[in-house]
A and B are shown apart, each in its own frame.
Chain A
Amino acid sequence: MSSPSNLTGSKNYFEDFEVGMVIRHSRGKTVTNLENVLITNLVMNSADGHFNKDKMSRSSFGKILSYGGVNFSLVLGLASQDCCENALMELGLDNIRLTKPVHHGDTLYAYSEVLEKSDSDRADAGIIVYRHFGVNQEQQVVAQVDRKVLLKKRPAA
């Protein structure tokens, strides 16, 4: 078996992040039934505004609203490879704000700012707090979330 460190990137360890850095993540993802309806149902969210097209056609939105939990989970996902691929544990989230409705067909992109960097109780890892932003195809911010992660330090060569 190859070393675990060969399976993940080499430029995203604890040492590679500095407070104030802002990262634009390279991939976007379009929200469809697969993201919104599948995940909303998978996690037992029973609010049918996220999966009843008929009802929502008669609402002021006019169409299905993508569930906020899906929207910010997708933003966290889009940022995960760069920010958390070498994580030992995700410790928590804070300041989650959903600032714009998201509908099927909207495309989300992610940006991350490094808010804090500190030591942990492990010598081989430190703690980073990121602020992730989710932006739609019109560059409007749709979601914001802070994530605290225990991130590995670069293994000795």
Chain B
Amino acid sequence: MAAEFIEKAVLWPKGNLYEDFHVGQKFEHHWGRTIFESDNALFSTLTLSFVPLYFNRTYAKSHGHPDVVLNPQLLFNVTLGLSVEDCSEIGGPFLGVYNLVYHKPAYPGVTLTASSTTVDMRVSGSNPEMGIVTWETEGRDEDGDLLVSFRRSNLVRRRGEGK
């Protein structure tokens, strides 16, 4: 017998399914994130990104930067991460990323926010229970300057008839 609170509890669900999207729809994603020097060092070392610009301040300064450069893959991953609840948390696996541009270097302390526009939707030819949704996503700093932009597609579950 489950505890009374478990029987009484109402699930507050997260995420969107295929029918929740439409072409032209815009999302300003939640939270934002300030990227700290520790995030950058941890990410760069755990992924073995042995580019001294990302973890040697003296080296980065000798190349004209004010500080270590944030590993661009960290900027991309945080931007995508912030978009997950709106776009892909419960839908299905991520299929691909295209036309990803790193617009300018960013440095520790930057606050990143993410936004997306739904740009394409279709039902999967091989599995009609699923759709394929594509978004254009942007990551910007606190001044609104574009740091990273990309196009990504996900398999997204459809609600289905009568469900």
Contacts and interface: CB of A to CB of B under 8 A. Distances in A.
B77 A89 contact: no
Contacts of A65: 93
B93 to A, nearest CB: 7
A102 to B, nearest CB: 12
A39 B100 contact: no
Q: B interface, how many residues as a size bin?
A: 35 or more
A46 B81 contact: yes
Contacts of A140: none
Contacts, number: 122
B96 A74 contact: no
Contacts of B42: 38, 42
Interface in A93-129: 93-98
A1 B59 CA distance: 10
Contacts of B43: 39, 42-43, 73
A76 B99 CA distance: 16
Contact of A94 (B76, B84, B99): B99
Interface centre among A34, A35, A68, A92 (most CB of B within 10 A): A92
Interface SS of chain A: mixed
Q: A interface, how many residues as a size bin?
A: 35 or more
A93 B81 contact: no
B58 interface: yes
A74 B73 CA distance: 10
A1 B99 CA distance: 39
A69 B48 contact: no
B117 interface: no
13 contacts: A34-B46, A39-B46, A39-B47, A43-B80, A46-B84, A69-B76, A69-B81, A76-B49, A77-B49, A87-B51, A90-B73, A93-B97, A98-B94
Interface of A: 1, 4, 7-8, 27, 29, 34-35, 38-40, 42-47, 65, 68-70, 73-74, 76-78, 80-81, 84-85, 87-98
